[in-house]
């Protein structure tokens, strides 16, 4: 497994991380049935009893392994080891002993899952220094058993990860194993100030990609950059109707269209829908930040057009469709309806991305001060959106 991790990183991980991976064995945290990507957008099961060799090979591959499905969708997984290493490095947990993020650092992990990552944290900083929070009590109990069997004894808490765990703070490191669209205020209040680190995968309604690494300053301030790796499941919440405070890129809850939504307006565009939703993660990441709440889906059924891009904001009931007629890619038909002209917003965001020099994810950053978040490119003050 570490050979594959080394290939992904372009070199070996630090000695402390290698030792942790040798001590905490991944297979001990996996159930008897896991699911692998099948290459067609789905998953195929692998049973340890029926195919032990394939199961063992998967356990030590550098691949994400789904460990649980809920309502037909993956709801828990074992992350790619190379992604785990990258996040631990961003958190400073590969640093030498004696550093604030080294051995003896207090770590809050959010999203226990199988318990594997918590086990690695125990090997790095010590059992008594690790607190891990899991929303699902069944998963928490299973993780605790896995950890115990591996000789690890962190504090395992059943709770809402958005609230952190104040009794164990302040923490030198807050590390999430799921993606968010904003940084919960509780995390900022529980990380050591100054110098504590928060590392969390990122998501927007448009694009789930990237990892944010923040360093806490004084008086509730934090600042850091995004990094171009990781695509994690989004943070689960105990109550889907719980109100949220909107933040940059916040993913809104689903609801019906507002009354008084504007009638559909038809036009055309020269911006290709594939330019903004065709797999260019840099462009999609930017649009996710610049057009919060907007999501997309492709329709290739041919019912309305040979290919249609649907753009939606469920909070306002706004929608846009962009149709390719199967002949000319010079212009596309656009229909927009609702309070937001979503395709106009997407177009403005894409032009701003071009104006900024088509920046990659690593050029973006986030500053938080007194509860207000500012997204920027290259340095604070260079706005993601056009002024």
Task: Single out the residue of 205, 382, 354, 383 nearest to residue 292, CA to CA.
Answer: 205
Active site residues: 79
Residue 23's Cβ-side half-sphere holds a number of Cα atoms within 13 Å equal to 18
Asked if residues 110 and 174 have their Cβ atoms less than 8 Å apart, the reply is yes
Please say whether the dihedral angle defined by the alpha carbons of residues 338, 349, 206 and 247, taken in this order, is positive or negative: negative
Beta-carbon contacts of 3 under 8 Å, excluding residues fewer than 6 positions away, are none
Angle at 112 between CA 107 and CA 113, to 5 degrees: 155
> What's the CA gap between 18 and 283, in Å, rounded?
35
Q: Write down the number of H helices and E strands in the chain.
A: 10, 18
Residue 378's Cβ-side half-sphere holds a number of Cα atoms within 13 Å equal to 8
DSSP reduced 3-state for 368: strand
**Which of left, alpha, beta for 260 (phi over 0: left; psi -120 to 50: alpha)?**
left
> What's the CA gap between 156 and 263, in Å, rounded?
52
Asked if residues 203 and 234 have their Cβ atoms less than 8 Å apart, the reply is yes
- Between strands 318-324 and 307-313, the pairing is antiparallel
> What's the CA gap between 73 and 81, in Å, rounded?
22
CA 357 to chain centre: 25
Beta-carbon contacts of 30 under 8 Å, excluding residues fewer than 6 positions away, are 59, 65, 67, 78, 114
Residue 3's Cβ-side half-sphere holds a number of Cα atoms within 13 Å equal to 2
């Amino acid at each position: 497994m570490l050979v594959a991790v080394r290939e992904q990183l372009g070199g070996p991980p630090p000695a402390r991380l290698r030792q942790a991976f040798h001590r905490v064995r991944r297979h001990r945290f996996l159930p008897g049935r896991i699911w692998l990507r099948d290459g067609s957008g789905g998953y195929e099961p692998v049973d340890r009893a029926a195919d032990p060799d394939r199961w063992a090979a998967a356990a030590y591959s550098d691949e994400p392994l789904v460990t649980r499905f809920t309502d037909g969708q993956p709801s828990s997984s074992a992350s790619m080891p190379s992604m785990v290493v990258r996040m631990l490095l961003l958190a400073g947990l590969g640093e030498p002993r004696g550093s604030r993020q080294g051995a003896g650092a207090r770590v809050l992990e959010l999203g226990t899952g199988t318990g594997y990552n918590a086990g690695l944290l125990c090997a790095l900083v010590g059992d008594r220094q690790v607190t891990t929070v899991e929303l699902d009590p069944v998963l928490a109990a299973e993780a605790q058993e896995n950890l115990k069997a591996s000789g690890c004894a962190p504090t395992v808490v059943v709770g809402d990860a958005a609230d952190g765990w104040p009794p164990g703070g302040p923490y030198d490191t807050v590390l999430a194993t799921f993606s968010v669209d904003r940084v919960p205020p509780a995390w900022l209040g529980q990380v050591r100030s100054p110098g504590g680190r928060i590392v969390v995968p990122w998501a927007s309604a448009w694009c789930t990609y990237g990892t944010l690494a923040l360093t806490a300053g004084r008086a509730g301030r934090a600042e850091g950059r995004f990094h171009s790796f990781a695509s994690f499941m989004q943070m689960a919440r105990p109550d889907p109707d719980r109100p949220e405070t909107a933040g940059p890129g916040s993913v809104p809850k689903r609801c019906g269209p507002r009354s008084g939504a504007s009638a559909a307006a038809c036009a055309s565009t020269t911006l290709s829908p594939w330019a903004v939703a065709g797999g260019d993660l840099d462009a999609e990441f930017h649009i996710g930040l610049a057009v919060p709440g907007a999501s997309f889906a492709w329709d290739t059924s041919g019912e309305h057009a040979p290919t249609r891009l649907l753009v939606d904001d469920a909070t306002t009931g706004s929608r846009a469709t962009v149709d390719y007629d199967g002949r000319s890619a010079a212009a596309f038909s656009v229909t927009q309806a609702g309070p937001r002209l979503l395709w106009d917003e997407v177009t403005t965001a894409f032009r701003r991305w071009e104006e900024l020099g088509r920046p990659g994810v690593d050029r973006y950053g986030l500053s938080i001060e007194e509860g207000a978040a500012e997204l920027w490119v290259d340095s604070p003050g260079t706005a993601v959106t056009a002024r």
